[in-house]
Structure 1
Amino acid sequence: MILQSTLSPSTPHSLSSTVSYCPSFFPSGSRSFISFSNGRPFNLSIQCSVPQVYSYGTMDYEKRPMLKWVDIYKRISLMENPQIGVASVLNQCEKEGKKVNKWELCKIVRELRKFKRFKLALEVYEWMNNRIERFRLSSSDTAIQLDLIAKVRGVSSAEDYFTRLPDTLKDKRIYGALLNAYVGAKEREKAESLMERMRTKGYAQHPLPFNVMMTLYMKLNDYDKVDELITEMKQRNIHLDLYSYNIWLSARGSQGSAEGMEQVLDDLKLVPTIIPNWTTFSTIASVYIKLGMFEKAEQCLKDLETRITGRDRMPYHYLISLYGSIGNKEEVNRVWNTYKSTFSSIPNWGYHAMISALIRLGDIEGAEKMYEEWLPVKTSYDPKVANLLMGWYIREEPFEKAQNFFNSMIEGGAKPNSGSWEILEEGHIKEGRISEALSCFREAMLAETPKNWYPKPSNVSAFLELCDQEGDNASKEDYIVLLRQLGCLQDESYRSLLVGHVDVEVGEGEGKSFIDNGTEETEGEESDMLLSIAE
């Protein structure tokens, strides 16, 4: 969420995840994207993230002319060696006579955050911090920095930053940024405690902090708490905004209640000042799909398409994925052709949505052709796109085909992510190769993306069973050590998988929930709220 100029709700216009995961509170948002099972039984669960909702006193970027910031942004974002640092780029620009002002730098930060280049965005602010005689940073800027610190260096660093700030500067924006950091890390107790402090200070008089807390409860599958916050808002005469309703719809849908969801929709219709956006209809459609009510879902998708405005790509991704889950190949192709005729270029996630839908439809040949179409036009080699096909090969083809595909990914310039290595691990487990599977698991742990990765419980269980079958206690013990290092053994769901295989001692942090792999973050397009449909 980019801080803007007024305190009124901003107009919704677009939608990780995943979760990823979590939205930024005031400063920015990370998103979750529709991720469907590929070639496996289809099971929908619904989560949501909090969108851009309110604005807090920053300048109106749209009223300023486009200046030299674009060239500087490109030089920063396209650095061949990011280790050189943003400061070197900005210093060089100034040596060339391109002296930048605060508006231009804030615009660069906005774009970097939009595409999730958080480390680079933080370096821009650090460059400004070292020039206090030139740049006066506002409370909004401080909130953005806190948000970036949490994303780049973790919640503890964000807490330290917050503690060092003078109390006079800690307004609702700063508190909101810290609350968002807690929610992003699923720090329930800290988030609830800070929310209570915000209530006491009068910083919880509008929907945004409630939306963020509801997002936390959605991630923790505590849907009753969502209802409690909605009730509190109504009792305190805090008007729900569109995002509050979208989250509420998601919560009711996650409980498998079409009737409950429709009651929320009826409530929304009584508020003439709130107009449902395409996110609303994608939320409702996904619930109907989950419940097998495809006719109602298709009507919602038609309504969704009428809500697409401007140059927003994300609705097309959702339409393709949702039509794919219904099994309507004709509509998948129609939306794809419309998408391609509307935009001169399609981002990686557009191809991700299309390949995923084709695999779900059983059109593997079409998915392979789409992958070949993507290769020469891709903006970068995103392994998440390739993982879709590799995952299908592991499940349906001889292991060698998946291995060869993996090798071709690397030759093509891909840097395998944790998911890539886990797919190979799954294949080695099926082939009964313990040593190779354990090696892939280690590589998955070492991969840079996604952050906070945790293995699929099904793979954990399968590996332990294989070790028992082969009597390989040494590998099993090594695997348990790695699980502990990841923090998985702090979660009851993982610990339960070890019953009968090993005695597990649990360290500090018992009770945290880590199984949220279905929420995968999307490409960094500006978004309001994302609905995550996970396995």
Structure 2
Amino acid sequence: MLRTAIAAEARRRISLAPARFAHELAQAQAQAQTAVPERGGFDPSWAPLYRRISRLYGRPPGMVAAEMDNYLRKRRPLSADQIVAYVRKLRKFKSNACALELMDWMESRGAKLIPGHQALRLGLVSKVHGIQAAEEYFWSLPDKSKKTYSSLLNCYGEHRMASKGLELYEKMKVMDIVPNTLLYNNLMTLYQKAGQPEKIPSTFEEMRESGISANNFTYCILIESYVTMNDLEAAEKVLEELQKVAPVHWSLYTMMANNYLKQELFGKAEVALKKAEEVMDKAELLSWHFLISLYARSVNSTELKRIWESLKSTFKKCSNKNYLVMLEALSMIDDLESLQQIFQEWESSNEHYDMRITNVMIKAYLDKGMIDEAEAIRQSTMSQGHCNGRTVYMFAEFYLDKSDVTAALEILRDAKKMLTAHKWVPSEKLTSRFLKHYEESKDVDGVESFCECLKKLECLDAEAYEGMVRTYIAAGRTNPSIAQRIEDDGIHVGPETTKLLERVSGN
């Protein structure tokens, strides 16, 4: 009973994490299925140019082409396969705009895209410019292949446009396009996203009867369909069947563990996680991260710490991502002592500071009401210029929750010191919380100080002035200068605020 209660609390504190991980893994697998196998792979000697291109993420369009032209001016040859390998690697790390620009550059240099390359480009257009642009590119192709049709089908799935995807599939059947594993996988994914998981088992049987081999992603979708239909027994049978005929990917075991945990079947979840550990590639970090997160969800501290030690012994050096996942897991099971220990270990060994990790520690202290410890970290990181927007929000919201509005306002005043690298403005939700407090407490001086702070942060707007006016009205006070201040600040207010201003001006 105690374990069940603790597990429920752990799920409440970070209930979206495992579902998000599973979804991202499924997406990554789908993308891998869509990709045409690389010829020659990604040669390590190509890394310097890749690093220069990848750093252009978020830069204005044209920067990738300029970098590539500069590279060619040095008379360094580039093959089409090498460029496509760069594209796939950029896509893998979600630098889709850079990847698409690289393909555009490739075409502008006279390269003719083969069907696999067109399918790759179609997927990138969908991610960067949307499904309509992807459709336009697809229909502009003079010769459409099975690969480009499958890619468009996958795009419809990603954009949750099941009806259009199924309509496309019917056209493909009329055109006698012979389906393959990828096409069936995309079709089953569409059914899942259309909320029609009951159609997936029959599609799988059709696929098998056609002599088309299934892969791990196929079984992943099939098992997921049974899980969606709350038929764990059928999902277990599929997994047992797969175990007899082919190696099982670790992700199928973690998917089962995730669903066992949803039903509080902790014993079965642990068995599934042990099987995942047996078959996973120890060099694949994602598998370790899944194990850590799922053991945390099951509140299995012993196994969680064992996996952490195994991870550390497997890799020469732990990355920031490893520490982040582990600290989030320890936070989930409320193990403050271990959290402090591993955080200190990271602080003494990190090569690149990651404020996300520090924020986990700060959040843990704030959750425990350990304000002095949390503030000590904030002051230290602020002096080093490491804070980020989440740091500001955590402290501001913590103090607002404690009704310590003075301390929350002090955090906003410190925002510029905390975020020296870029401009920061509070969210509409956070601003509204401050304004609501000042209006309800009739605190005119407080709202004036708040708006002065917003002005220094360069985000004083009409909503803030309206909140100020409402506070004056609630306090039964007038201030004829507010209208002039609004005009001087170049802020346009609506009719409702204008009427309120008349009352505050004493007219």
Q: Structure 2 length normalisation: TM-score?
A: 0.67
- Structure 2: how far apart are the matches of 1:99 and 1:328? 54
Structure of greater Rg: 2
Contact preservation (8 Å) 1:278, 1:308: yes
Shift of residue 378, structure 1, vs aligned partner: 5.8
Is 1:299 the equivalent of 2:271? yes
Contact preservation (8 Å) 1:149, 1:158: yes
- Structure 2: how far apart are the matches of 1:136 and 1:184? 27
Measured at CA, do residues 87 and 233 of structure 1 come closer, stay the same or move farther in structure 2, by a change above 3 Å?
same
What does residue 312 of structure 2 align with? Answer: 340
- Structure 1: how far apart are the matches of 2:107 and 2:348? 41
User: 2:85 corresponds to which letter in structure 1?
Assistant: K
Contact preservation (8 Å) 1:226, 1:251: yes
What does residue 170 of structure 2 align with? Answer: 196
Unaligned runs of 5+ in 2: 1-7, 416-426, 443-461, 465-507
Measured at CA, do residues 219 and 263 of structure 1 come closer, stay the same or move farther in structure 2, by a change above 3 Å?
same
Deviations 1:203-254 (A, max 9, x none): 472343443354455557x3xx223122123135255432222222233334
Q: 1:141 aligns with which of 102, 117, 121?
A: 117
Deviations 1:112-140 (A, max 9, x none): 222222222222212212200xx332121
What does residue 61 of structure 1 align with? Answer: 40
User: 2:104 corresponds to which letter in structure 1?
Assistant: E
Q: 1:107 aligns with which of 75, 85, 109?
A: 85
Shift of residue 316, structure 1, vs aligned partner: 0.9
Unaligned runs of 5+ in 1: 1-35, 444-454, 480-535
Contact preservation (8 Å) 1:394, 1:426: no
Contact preservation (8 Å) 1:391, 1:423: yes
What does residue 234 of structure 2 align with? Answer: 260
Shift of residue 150, structure 1, vs aligned partner: 2.3
Is 1:241 the equivalent of 2:241? no
SS at structure 2 position matched to 1:60: coil
Contact preservation (8 Å) 1:347, 1:379: no
Measured at CA, do residues 401 and 182 of structure 1 come closer, stay the same or move farther in structure 2, by a change above 3 Å?
farther
Measured at CA, do residues 308 and 101 of structure 1 come closer, stay the same or move farther in structure 2, by a change above 3 Å?
same
User: 2:46 corresponds to which letter in structure 1?
Assistant: W
What does residue 473 of structure 2 align with? Answer: none
Deviations 1:453-501 (A, max 9, x none): xx9xxx99x979x78x9499xxxx979xxxxxxxxxxxxxxxxxxxxxx
User: 1:154 corresponds to which letter in structure 2?
Assistant: G
What does residue 527 of structure 1 align with? Answer: none
- Structure 1: how far apart are the matches of 2:10 and 2:301? 15
User: 1:141 corresponds to which letter in structure 2?
Assistant: H
Q: How many residues align?
A: 413
Contact preservation (8 Å) 1:355, 1:371: yes
- Structure 2: how far apart are the matches of 1:409 and 1:209? 51
What does residue 126 of structure 1 align with? Answer: 104
Contact preservation (8 Å) 1:56, 1:140: yes
Shift of residue 369, structure 1, vs aligned partner: 4.0
- Structure 2: how far apart are the matches of 1:179 and 1:286? 28
User: 2:48 corresponds to which letter in structure 1?
Assistant: D
Contact preservation (8 Å) 2:189, 2:221: yes
User: 2:256 corresponds to which letter in structure 1?
Assistant: I
Measured at CA, do residues 315 and 171 of structure 1 come closer, stay the same or move farther in structure 2, by a change above 3 Å?
same
- Structure 2: how far apart are the matches of 1:434 and 1:197? 62
SS at structure 2 position matched to 1:61: coil
What does residue 360 of structure 1 align with? Answer: 332
User: 1:299 corresponds to which letter in structure 2?
Assistant: V
Alignment of 1:77-476 (within 5 A): 77-78=54-55, 82-83=59-60, 85-132=63-110, 135-163=111-139, 165-168=140-143, 170-203=144-177, 205-215=179-189, 218=192, 222=195, 225-235=196-206, 237-238=209-210, 239=212, 240-269=214-243, 272=245, 274-309=246-281, 311-374=283-346, 384-393=356-365, 395-397=367-369, 416=388, 426-427=397-398, 430-431=401-402, 470=440
Shift of residue 416, structure 1, vs aligned partner: 4.4
Identity %: 25
Shift of residue 361, structure 1, vs aligned partner: 2.2
- Structure 1: how far apart are the matches of 2:268 and 2:368? 33
- Structure 1: how far apart are the matches of 2:382 and 2:199? 49
Contact preservation (8 Å) 1:112, 1:120: yes
- Structure 2: how far apart are the matches of 1:118 and 1:209? 23
Shift of residue 317, structure 1, vs aligned partner: 0.8
Contact preservation (8 Å) 1:320, 1:335: yes
Measured at CA, do residues 376 and 293 of structure 1 come closer, stay the same or move farther in structure 2, by a change above 3 Å?
same
SS at structure 2 position matched to 1:289: helix
What does residue 71 of structure 1 align with? Answer: 48
Measured at CA, do residues 348 and 97 of structure 1 come closer, stay the same or move farther in structure 2, by a change above 3 Å?
same
Structure with bigger helix share is 2
User: 2:53 corresponds to which letter in structure 1?
Assistant: I
- Structure 1: how far apart are the matches of 2:355 and 2:128? 21
Measured at CA, do residues 403 and 131 of structure 1 come closer, stay the same or move farther in structure 2, by a change above 3 Å?
farther
Measured at CA, do residues 40 and 269 of structure 1 come closer, stay the same or move farther in structure 2, by a change above 3 Å?
closer
Which deviates further from its counterpart, 394-403 or 315-324? 394-403
- Structure 1: how far apart are the matches of 2:310 and 2:183? 37
Contact preservation (8 Å) 1:147, 1:178: yes
Contact preservation (8 Å) 1:179, 1:191: yes
Contact preservation (8 Å) 1:183, 1:212: yes
- Structure 2: how far apart are the matches of 1:394 and 1:235? 55
Measured at CA, do residues 88 and 166 of structure 1 come closer, stay the same or move farther in structure 2, by a change above 3 Å?
closer
User: 2:185 corresponds to which letter in structure 1?
Assistant: N
What is the CA RMSD across the aligned residues, in angstroms?
A: 4.4
- Structure 2: how far apart are the matches of 1:230 and 1:182? 21
Structure showing greater relative contact order (alpha-carbon pairs closer than 8 Å, 6 or more residues apart): 1
